[in-house]
Structure 1
Amino acid sequence: MRQAIAAAAALLTIAAVPAAAQHRSEAEANSSGHCATISWLRVPGAERQDNSCLDELTTAGTVASGHTDKADWAGLTPAGLAVPSGVPGIQIDGYFPDTSTTNTNHGWQHDAQFVIRLPDRWNGGLVIAGSPGVREQYANDRAIGDWVLARGYAFAATDKGNTGVAFHRDGAAPGEAIAEWNSRVTELTRAARAVVAQRYFRPPSRTLATGMSNGGYLVRWQLENHPELYDGGVDWEGTLWREEGPNLLTFLPPALRAYPAYAAGGDGADRAHQEMTAAGFPAGSEFLWPFHHQYYWDVTQRIYREELDPDYDGAQEAGTPFCAPATPACDADYDYGSRPQSVRNAVSKIALTGKIGKPLITLHGTLDVLLPIGQDSDVYARMVSDAGRGHLFRYYRVEAGTHVDSLYDAFPDKLRPLTPCHRSAFTALESWLGRGQQPPPSRTLPRPVSATPESLLTACRLDS
């Protein structure tokens, strides 16, 4: 549980990456053949870039060399997840022009930071990822980057242009800080495709988008708005934004109102439980509610409400933590439906439509109590179908999966890690695009009755 608590803190906080360790010089790289094109590489549009020739691009080496930020990805994967290794190549760290300064990595005090990794042994593909939560560009290193690099993909990730719990200070108007996330992923995709062509003397044969939580939202948005840049994507529990709802601002306030009464017990507990389940938090997930109430629901509601509806609490910034209902401007009393049209206009800047233009696989845990599945991916699946894009879509509801896999370590008898399911979805997408092999139909994936903790860490079948 201590590790799970650290995961919650890491999702919302930032930390500076260690100073870069010694690595091969450009002359040594060029003379040896390893990283031989390092001096040629230029990231289009970058204001700064630092090219490094590394003997190991995965976290098996980048933790020691200072080319990742361990705090950024802490807690997003189970502790027992294997770490691949044996991936030498080039890493490019840098940033695009930006005016905000929340990202302190490398001591740059500059947002719009990115990382691009180019393995020596390349399979022809490129994977693009945006960070989950309000984390930085290294947040996907363990959950996604290590694995795709070991499979031979080039990998690029962005901090989305603003980070941390005060991300809402960026942008000139409500909704613009989140809208920047989308433009930064588009920017990185175009730049990374060009860098790949410089490094390997041909463009990528396949460009895939993937990410979890806010990163999954970015996959959805990119395939809706820029399908020309991608061949497909895997959305891991993406955040749903819709002008009419549901969205974070419709289901988090009921949880903040009802949970304290439920936790207190007594005469009001049953009614409070009914209010929780009516808001989308499924029966059977109660063991996860105390942790999410303490570490996720309150701060998430306040900072995203501040981004989209700053006038709710006047001059105060991001409300009052854990305020009691009936307290003036308390986020527990927030009612999205009664707010001015200007709030829905802000949400419309980041809203999804379901009109994907390339193949997309979505997976979501049934015990997700930060983004409840019935208020999120179930709805998005209907949106895709209603938009007439069902032939491009597969949706796997993962029984007993929750929002962050670190909680599996605390509740191995009740939960199932989603990381192996993401990998199964990714390989299914590869077969779909490469061989025309249709993935299994959309379905709920039951938690195997006879599964061991070890098997749940390594396998997740989509067809049974």
Structure 2
Amino acid sequence: MSRRKHRRRLLALAPALLVAGLLPAAGAHATGAACAAHRLRVPGAERVLGHCPDDLTTAGLLPLGLTHPADYQGLQASNTVNPAPAPVPGVQLDGYFPDTSTTNTHHGWNHDSQFVIRLPERWNGGLVVAGPPGTRRQYANDRTISDQVLARGFAYAATDKGNTGPELYRDGTEPGDAIMEWHHRFTQLTLAAKKVAAGHYGRLPARTYAAGLSAGGYLVRWQIEHFPRLYTGGVDWNGLLFTRDAPNLLTHLPPALRAYPRWERNEPGAAGAMYAAGYPEGSEALWKAHYLTQWDTLQRAVREEVDPEYDGPVQGGTPFCPEGTGAGCDTDYDYGSRPDSVHDTVERISLTGRITRPLITLQGTLDVMLPITRTGDLYGRMVNDSGRGALHRYYRIQDGTHADGYHDLAPRIVRPMQPCFTAAFDALVAWTTRGVTPPPGGTVPRLADGTATDCTP
């Protein structure tokens, strides 16, 4: 489906979704007769479970089984202290929209397009919508985003993007379908969550923000580019970037898969090959962990999604195939030589930089999943080239890396970015509600002691 048709389809759904909020969702039910959640309906949802916990933050939800630690494991540094000045009582709705894929096993549903919506008792009139990074699920942002915004009085909603896990490429019928579904599910949830908030509080949210890390950051950019009327603004954190040609994931990951084993063997020229692919000097301590757990898996999943013909009938490529294996080996993948049809598919999911709402972008200078010179720096130029620079603030976070959990691996090298996200979110709110213009974009230095986590631009 073309971008234009996809947009028309979602916008056409909007009135129906809003009206549907007045009707019971099929199969919806709630727990607790006294719980306010029993009267709430999620437009378009096939199933909904309602709860009224005394605390909607992870501290209160974890004992009740209303969050899932595996979803957010490794996304925060172990010494991170989340805001918890007081419990945040309210309503939590868990459910799913109609879908045919079954990769999400949460709640024993074995059903994708799951979501969570949280409505605090003391509401400030705002809503934050998020999608998970990578192949994670709807609770992935519970500590990094949900806890932060609930403490500020915002309602919160998150989607699993419609397909999860390392074989997400099996969803859909055409190359790119699985990733295009991410956008549909994010927009669908935004429309539904607005109506749920209106039904619960008696009025629609006065402002709605999109927020996300990695693949979730990519979704923020897409929404601000394609569906700006739904949002007041957005914050994207180490966001994924697709472009039709170079650079993109398929142009910087294969060189790393080829050069890293040679670097580990101390072969001449290997370090230079890593640096040439975009992996910054000073990030070497992070390479092994990413080689073993991230680069190969991500490369194969994305390549299989956009170029399934490369390895013929093999599903998901061959893990860690040695350099020089040849055709069908993702380590030897050469995106530039692939057919135009592959580039057309990537263009289908590519960003443009044409934002029309305020957007704050954060990226760590030591990001070795999405090297900053190949992603954040490029997106910043794309926004400026589109003439939308006044709506964008791009902050390069010195010594930040893709996920804060890597701070535990290299605490003297990696600076946690969680404080940068919360500072950026507060700056976005001030920008869009009080007209307080954020500082110009640039590099946010790390303090001299090497351990500070503040984020003052």
Report the TM-score when normalising by structure 2.
0.91
Q: 2:33 aligns with which of 2, 17, 27?
A: 27
Percent of matched pairs sharing the same residue: 57
Report the Cα offset of residue 450 of structure 1: 2.8
Residue deviations 1:346-395, cap 9 Å, x none? 11221100000100000000000000000001000000000000010000
Q: Give deviations 1:204-223, integer Å, cap 9, x for gaps.
A: 01100000000000000000
Kindly report structure 1 stretches of 4+ aligned residues shifted beyond 3 Å. Answer: none
**CA offset at residue 28 of structure 1?**
2.9
Task: Give the corresponding residue for 2:406.
Answer: 407
| Matched residue, 2:293 | 295
CA distance in 2, matches of 1:281, 1:309: 24
8 A Cα contact 1:178 1:350, kept in partner: yes
Are 1:176 and 1:349, in contact at CA under 8 Å, matched by a contact in 2? Answer: no
CA apart distance, 1:410: 2.2
With the length of structure 1 as denominator, give the TM-score of the two structures. Answer: 0.90
Residue in 2 aligned with 1:238? Answer: 239
1:262 is aligned to 263
Residues 179 and 25 from structure 1, CA distance in 2 versus in 1: closer, same or farther, beyond 3 angstroms?
A: closer
Q: Secondary structure at the match of 1:122?
A: coil
SS at match of 1:449: coil
Find the aligned partners of 2:101 and 2:73 in 1 and give their Cα distance: 24
Q: Which residue of 2 aligns with 1:157?
A: 158
Secondary structure of residue in 2 paired with 1:233? strand
Name the SS for the 1:28 alignment partner: coil
Q: How far 1:246 moved relative to its partner?
A: 1.1
Aligned to 1:345: 344
Deviations along 1:5-34, one digit per CA (max 9) or x if unpaired, are: xxxxxxxxxxxxxxxxxxx954333xxxxx
Give the Cα–Cα distance (whole angstroms) in 2 for the partners of residues 299 and 370 of structure 1. Answer: 11
The residue number in structure 1 matching 2:455 is 460
Q: 2:320, 2:362 → 1: CA distance?
A: 31
Q: Which residue matches 1:87?
A: 88
- 1:396-428 CA-to-partner distances (Å, cap 9, x unmatched) read 000000011011122221110010000110011
8 Å contact from structure 2 (residues 216, 239) kept in 1: yes
Query: Could you tell me which residue of structure 1 aligns to residue 376 of structure 2?
Result: 377
CA contact (8 A) 2:31 2:50 kept: no
1:25-104 alignment, distance < 5 Å: 26-29=32-35, 35=36, 38-83=37-82, 84=84, 85-104=86-105
Query: Following superposition of structure 1 onto structure 2, how do residues 102-251 of structure 1 map, counting pairs within 5 Å?
Result: 102-251=103-252
Match of 1:309 in 2: 307
Is 1:418 equivalent to 2:417 in the alignment? Answer: yes
Q: Deviations over 1:259-309 (max 9, x none)?
A: 1111101xx33x111111111011111111111111111111111101110
Q: Could you tell me which amino acid in structure 2 is paired with residue 460 of structure 1?
A: C
Q: Give yes or no for contact 2:60–2:87 (8 Å, CA) kept in 1.
A: no
Match of 1:438 in 2: 437
SS class of match (1:27): coil
Secondary structure of the structure 2 residue equivalent to 1:293: helix
Q: Residue type matched to 1:91 in 2?
A: Q
**Contact persistence 2:197–2:205 (CA under 8 A):** yes
Shift of 1:55: 0.7
How far does residue 326 in structure 1 lie from its aligned partner after superposition? 1.7
8 A Cα contact 1:242 1:352, kept in partner: yes
TM-aligned CA deviation for residue 45 of structure 1: 0.4
- Contact residue 31 and residue 49 of structure 2 kept, 8 A: no
Letter in 2 for 1:325: E
Which residue is 2:16 aligned to? none
Tell me the distance in 2 between the aligned counterparts of 1:228 and 1:320: 43
CA distance in 2, matches of 1:396, 1:100: 37
* Structure 2 counterparts to residues 323-402 of structure 1, below 5 A: 323-328=321-326, 329-402=328-401
Gap change, CA 1:115 and 1:25, over 3 Å in 2: closer
Q: CA RMSD in A?
A: 1.1
The alpha-carbon distance between structure 1 residues 450 and 314, as it changes in their structure 2 partners (threshold 3 A), is same
**Which residue identity lines up with residue 246 of structure 1 in the other structure?**
P
> 2: distance between equivalents of 1:419 and 1:193?
27
State the Cα deviation string for residues 74-104 of structure 1 (Å, max 9, x = none): 1101112123251000000000000000000
Q: Which amino acid aligns with 1:28?
A: A
How far is 1:245 from its partner? 2.2
Q: What is the rounded CA distance, in whole Å, between the counterparts of 1:318 and 1:296 in structure 2?
A: 14
Does the 8 A contact of 2:214 with 2:237 survive in 1?
yes
Structure 1 residues 438 and 382, CA gap change in structure 2 (3 angstroms):
same
1:369 alignment partner AA: V
Q: Distance in 1 between matches of 2:226 and 2:297?
A: 30
Match for residue 8 of structure 2?
Answer: none
Q: What residue is the counterpart of 1:318 in the other structure?
A: 316
**3-state SS of paired residue (2:33):** helix
CA distance in 1, matches of 2:198, 2:341: 44
Q: Give the distance between the partners of 1:423 and 1:150, measured in 2 at CA.
A: 11
The one-letter code sitting in structure 1 at the alignment partner of 2:273 is: E
2:285, 2:410 within 8 Å by CA — same for their partners in 1? no
Offset at 1:39?
Answer: 2.8
Instruction: Please state whether the residue corresponding to 2:408 is helix, strand or coil.
Output: helix
Q: Would the aligned equivalents of 1:113 and 1:161 in 2 still touch at CA under 8 Å?
A: yes
Question: Residues 126-177 of structure 1, C-alpha deviation per residue, up to 9 Å, x if partnerless?
Answer: 0000010010100000111011011110000000000000100001011110
Structure 2 counterpart of 1:298, one-letter code: D
The number of residues matched between the two structures is: 425
**Which amino acid letter does the alignment assign opposite residue 211 of structure 2?**
T
How far off its partner does 1:311 sit? 0.6
